[in-house]
C-alpha cells in the first residue's frame, strides 16, 4: 500500500495570508490527525478527523481549521498567518476499528515571512 | 489535559551499550503509549507501543515498560548501533474513538561507533 502523502512539501507565505495543506491517508484508513512540529514545542496535536467529522481538537486558535472528505482525504487551513506558524505540519492516518497505530506523512514545511 | 514529560533531552552512548529514555504522564485515563523514532529530515515512525493493561512489551532490541501507578513509561534499547541515532518521542493519550496523543519534547540519541 502507498503511504501517507502530503502536498505541498514546501510552502512559503507572507504574514496575513492563508494556506491550505492536503493529506491523503493510507488506503482504507479513515482517521486523519494533524500535528504541528517546531523545535521549541515539539509535536503538538491539532485535530483528528474521522468520517468527515472532527472528533478531537488540540489547543490551537480558531485560525487553524480542517476538514475531511468522503474519500478520507483531509485538508488543513490556517488563516491570517503569523510568523510563529512557521513549522512542519504532519498528518497521520490510522485504520480505526480498535487499531491505534498511526502512520505519519512526510510533512509540509511552512515558512511564514 | 494530558502532560507528557520526557528525559533526557539528549543522550550519547557508545555502540553496544544500552540506552534508556523515560517519560511521565499526568492523566490517569490515558491508555495508549507509543514511541516514535524520527531521523533527520524524515517522518516519525512508530517503533513500539504499549497499552495500559500491559506492563512490558519487547520487540528484538527494543522494550517498553509501563508503571501505571507511578504514571511513567520507559524505552529501553539494548546493543545500540549507529543507525539507532535519531530523535525519539514518547507519547501518551487515549486510543479508540477519543483518540488524542500528547507528545514528549523528544530525546536526541547519538550512538558513537
Question: pLDDT 10s digit of each residue in chain A, 113 long?
Answer: 789 999 999 999 999 999 999 999 999 999 999 999 998 888 999 999 999 999 989 999 999 999 999 999 999 999 999 999 999 999 999 987 777 899 999 999 999 99
A86, A111 in Cβ contact below 8 A?
yes
DSSP E strands: which ranges in chain B? 4-7, 10-14, 19-25, 32-38, 45-51, 56-59, 62-67, 72-77, 86-94, 100-103, 107-112
Measured in angstroms, the CA of A80 and the nearest CA of chain B are apart by 26
Measured in angstroms, the CA of B29 and the nearest CA of chain A are apart by 16
Give the H or E element holding residue A53.
Answer: strand A53-57
Is the minimum CB–CB distance between A70 and chain B shorter than 8 Å? no
What is the number of residues in chain B? 113
Give B-chain residues touching A41 at CB under 8 angstroms.
Answer: 105
Each residue's pLDDT tens digit, B10-38: 999 999 999 999 999 999 999 999 999 99
Q: How high does pLDDT run on average in chain B?
A: 95
Residue A46, SS3?
Answer: strand
d(CA B70, CA B19): 21
The verdict on a CB contact (< 8 Å) between B99 and A31 is: yes
- What per-residue confidence (pLDDT) applies to B105? 95
Residue of chain B with shortest Cα separation from A99 = B96
Nearest to B103 among A31, A42, A55 (CB): A42
Amino acid at each position: 500500500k502507498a503511504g501517507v502523502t502530503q502536498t505541498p512539501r514546501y510552502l512559503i507565505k507572507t504574514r496575513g495570508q492563508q494556506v491550505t495543506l492536503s493529506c491523503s491517508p493510507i488506503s482504507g484508513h479513515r482517521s486523519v490527525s494533524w500535528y504541528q512540529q517546531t523545535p521549541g514545542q515539539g509535536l503538538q496535536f491539532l485535530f483528528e478527523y474521522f468520517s468527515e467529522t472532527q472528533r478531537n481538537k488540540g489547543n490551537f486558535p480558531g485560525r487553524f481549521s480542517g476538514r475531511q472528505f468522503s474519500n478520507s482525504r483531509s485538508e488543513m487551513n490556517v488563516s491570517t498567518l503569523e510568523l510563529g506558524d512557521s513549522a512542519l505540519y504532519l498528518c497521520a492516518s490510522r485504520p480505526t476499528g480498535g487499531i491505534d497505530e498511526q502512520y505519519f506523512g512526510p510533512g509540509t514545511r511552512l515558512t511564514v515571512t | 489535559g494530558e502532560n507528557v514529560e520526557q528525559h533526557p533531552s539528549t543522550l550519547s552512548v557508545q555502540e553496544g551499550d544500552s540506552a534508556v529514555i523515560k517519560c511521565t504522564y499526568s492523566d490517569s485515563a490515558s491508555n495508549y503509549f507509543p514511541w516514535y523514532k524520527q531521523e533527520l529530515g524524515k517522518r516519525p515512525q512508530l517503533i513500539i507501543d504499549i497499552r495500559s493493561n500491559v506492563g512490558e512489551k519487547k520487540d528484538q532490541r527494543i522494550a517498553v515498560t509501563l508503571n501505571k501507578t507511578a504514571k511513567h513509561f520507559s524505552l529501553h534499547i539494548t546493543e545500540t548501533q549507529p543507525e539507532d541515532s535519531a530523535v525519539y518521542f514518547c507519547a501518551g493519550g487515549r486510543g479508540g474513538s477519543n483518540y488524542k496523543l500528547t507528545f514528549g519534547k523528544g530525546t536526541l540519541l547519538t550512538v558513537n561507533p
